[in-house]
Amino acid sequence: MAATASFDPQSVLKLDGYLEPFIPAIAHRHERFQKWKDTIDRCEGGYEKFTRGFDKMGFNVKESGEVVYREWAPNVTEAHLIGDFNQWNRMSHPLKKNEFGVWEITLPPSAPGVCAIRHDSKVKISMITSTGARIERIPAWIQRVTQDLAFSPAYEGRFWNPPTSERYQFKNSRPPQPRAIRIYEAHVGISTSEHRVGTYKEFTKDTLPRIHALGYNTIQLMAIMEHPYYASFGYQVTSFFAASSRYGTPEELRELVDTAHGMGITVLLDVVHSHACKNVLDGLNAFDGSDHQYFHEGSKGRHELWDSRLFNYGSHEVLRFLLSNLRFYIEEYKFDGFRFDGVTSMMYVHHGMGTGFSGGYPEYFGSGADEEAIVYLMLANDAMHALYPSVITIAEDVSGMPLLCIPVSQGGIGFDYRLSMAIPDMWIKLLKHKTDDEWDMGDIVHTLTDRRYGEKSVAYAESHDQALVGDKTLAFWLMDKEMYTHMSDLTPMTPIIARGLSLHKMIRLLVHSLGGEGYLNFEGNEFGHPEWLDFPREGNNNSFQHARRQWNIVDDQHLRYRYLNNFDAAINHLEEEHKWLSAPQAYVSLKHGGDKMIAYERSGLLFVFNFHPTKSFTDYRVGVDEAGEYHIILTSDEKKFGGFENVSCGGKFTTTSMEWNGRKNWLQIYIPSRTCVVLGK
């Protein structure tokens, strides 16, 4: 069989010999992947045609002004297109059904080159189900939906076909794929300091320059796919091909992405293919009146915890819909890749609920694995990388699934990166449950370096998950209520603020330089944004107080937030210069529990951290492999970073040729309490 011939088990065993007992399971899922790929090649003309479902389905306008509308709805016996264009007449525009359950209608132009459906007018499909019931839905492939909360929380479908003069024309080419990704995770809606929803236009004008100045080379945009409930953070999607209208128009999103490209910034979409909103009137649920069109029927098609529907990844038309959805955002909006949400939920039949992953391999390849969903992820990664070699895909997985970030051709699932989700959990646990002198340097280093060989990870100290209501940002855990009273340079530097600023900087540099092959920061956390994130909802009287970013506090030159912002930028720019994220994993020569010291080398640099709450060390001996003269090129103790200037850049240190901590040479440095330094030659 071709599938087996194309998969070489040795490519897996070279990475991890412990996978040998599970080669049959890995080979089996690869065979299922290959069968789907062969079917797509044979029946659909390969990935190229299959992933362009948006050219056939939904609304397509020809140069003549003719409109062709197609919809997959196998369970209905009648279908009519209705909308403003025909005064919502349920009989005037019937669709015809083909043998695959796809309904179609062609609307001739009202005049040469003029569509019969006016741009931005409302449309729906009215259908009669097999039981005789009339149902009306928003077209599944619709590219714009709007919501008028004064009238109804339900969305309304819009026919988006702006005249050429109003279409955004892309000006910039995509930047090359980054050597290593430094991600700024952002949400357009919260990117204003005002008590309202921010816009694409404002993000382009005000937030992009901040991201660029900080030295991030990648943006990960959250909550773009349309979702009716703002407080869902974008994770209850109803219209998959519609960019959220609460921030503006599709053209304004195109401008945002294009402007980022002009700055050399890669733009990723936070894509939600793990589940869908259960809404019926404006979602995919019961679209054709059945329980099983896009989703599995019964309990298998429902996520109890998320109260949402689960896709049937074994359906030909569902695969067309989801794979085309990915390509649509690359083609139409010029996104450069995706962060796949909820990958753990997808890959296991238990969805990760009530399951702790111990790392035992039977957990990954036994009966708990959802092979159907895993094969979809393999198809998605294989297709996008085949069509767009520079595409970037990131998996949100907490389970530690082996081979997740290995190419499909080598038996993997095909992602480029995985999120190192254990790292932020570790910091929160330390700050909540341990005093500073209880921190175990060995445990910290282990969590930061414990990643699968040959698979790239994105490290982060905190993301949006840690900022959500019910939790707090690292800065707020560190400094809490004193952030309200003592973050001004005009007030004394209290012990709590001094500790908070120091540890915030140290944690971020440690994670950035030791934790992975990519780095992620959530919007605002770079400067220690206070409090938490909470969207307007009934429980908080629909307040925007915590659903915004307080840029004013980092721009105020009297407030200490700017010190953290400056240090974050310095880390990113230093990484760009010395390229540690794309270097081999660091060699850790020191993790001293009593001294609270960590030292390691990566990319020719020597990183030294003193986490001790009270002890400073003079002439502290640190091992280093390469002999020569070293200089301090970054220290958290500089005044511009809110430090005390006990250590400054430029100091020279010459190595002594004697083995120390497993390294060929050593040097001695002064390292104050709660300070980190980076030395380079």
Give the active site residues. Answer: 341, 396
3-state class (DSSP) for residue 187: strand
Distance CA 314, CA 295 (A): 10
> If DSSP states are collapsed to H, E and C, what string results for 468-483?
EECECCHHHHHHHHHH
Distance linking the first and last C-alpha atoms of the chain? 56
- Number of Cβ within 10 Å of residue 672's Cβ equals 21
Is residue 136 within 8 Å of 82, Cβ to Cβ?
yes
What letter does residue 86 receive in the DSSP assignment? G
Name the DSSP class of 522: E
Residues shown for the chain: 681
Residue pair 65/115 in contact by the 8 Å Cβ criterion:
yes
* 370 contacts 421 by C-beta, under 8 angstroms: no
Residue 70 half-sphere exposure toward CB, CA atoms < 13 A: 15
Distance CA 264, CA 177 (A): 10
The rounded distance, in Å, linking the Cα atoms of 471 and 107 is 53
Residues 161, 117: contact at Cβ < 8 Å?
Answer: yes
Are 245 and 226 in contact by the 8 Å Cβ rule? The answer is yes
Instruction: Give the Å distances, CA to CA, from 427 to 436, 500, 561, 584, 672.
Output: 12, 13, 20, 24, 22
89: three-class secondary structure by DSSP: coil
The closest of 312, 147, 306, 317 to 239, measured between CA atoms, is: 147
Among candidate residues 197, 267, 211, 263, the one with its CA nearest the CA of residue 526: 211
97 beta partners: 103
Euclidean distance between CA atoms 677 and 631, whole angstroms: 10
Among the listed residues 544, 588, 478, 623, the one whose alpha carbon sits nearest the alpha carbon of residue 196: 544
- DSSP per position, 246-259: GG--HHHHHHHHHH
Helix ranges restricted to H, 45-63: 46-50
For CA atoms 191, 195, 201, 202, the dihedral sign is: negative
